[in-house]
Amino acid sequence: MGKVHTLALFNNFEEAVRAIQELKGAHLPGFRIDDVVIKSPIDHPELSEMLGKRPVYVQLFTLAGAVLGGSVGFTLIASAQANFLLQIRGGRPVVPIPPDMVLTYELFILFGVLMTMLGCFIAWKLPGNRSTLYNTSISVDKIGILVRADPLVIPKINEIFARHQPLQIMGEHGR
């Protein structure tokens, strides 16, 4: 049997912190801390730290893009120059280094930027299905805690949530 979601909305930041701490300490069967997702209107690095280390791989995409853009850019430009029929201009060498450095630099940045965006989209798992448990008040000022767990433990999780003054607890069933 698959796992199901439950989402609790909190008005109070401290209560949300305590709810997460209690979830961590509860040792429920079929529940992992990795399945907890915080949804917040602003970035709360201090809150997500409590969920354990969640690595970000965007930098690797950036690095790949920058290296690729620089090296492939230079090679393409230089070989285009070397193959151009009307290649001798103004007494400059056919493959002049300073102009190529300028162009390489721009391509290095362009590909770095594009790959950063791509990497971020991949990390966001686009274009994938979003979890249906979402409340528009999250984009205003509420903090949501989304838990994915075995259907049997969901009532227990909801119990923990209920102890911390949630505004609302939403489940996948009964909607």
Cβ at position 14, least distance to other proteins in Å = 12
Q: Establish if 17 lies at the interface with other proteins (CB under 8 A).
A: no
Q: Establish if 174 lies at the interface with other proteins (CB under 8 A).
A: no
Q: Establish if 167 lies at the interface with other proteins (CB under 8 A).
A: no
Q: Establish if 47 lies at the interface with other proteins (CB under 8 A).
A: yes
Among 21, 30, 32, 93, binds other proteins (CB under 8 A): 93
Nearest to 13 by CA among 141, 113, 118: 141
Q: Establish if 134 lies at the interface with other proteins (CB under 8 A).
A: yes
Give 149's strand partners: 4
Among 68, 114, 167, 169, binds other proteins (CB under 8 A): 114
Residue 99 or residue 155: which is nearer to other proteins going by CB?
Answer: 99
Dist. CA 40–CA 45, nearest whole Å = 11
Dist. CA 66–CA 71, nearest whole Å = 9
Residues 26-45 that bind other proteins (CB under 8 A): 37-45
Q: Measure CA 129 to chain center.
A: 15
Cβ at position 169, least distance to other proteins in Å = 17
Inter-residue contact 107 to 73 (CB < 8 Å): yes
Dist. CA 73–CA 78, nearest whole Å = 8
Q: Establish if 103 lies at the interface with other proteins (CB under 8 A).
A: yes
- Residue 140 zone, left/alpha/beta (φ > 0; ψ -120 to 50; rest): alpha
Residues 69-88 that bind other proteins (CB under 8 A): 75-88
Cβ at position 22, least distance to other proteins in Å = 18
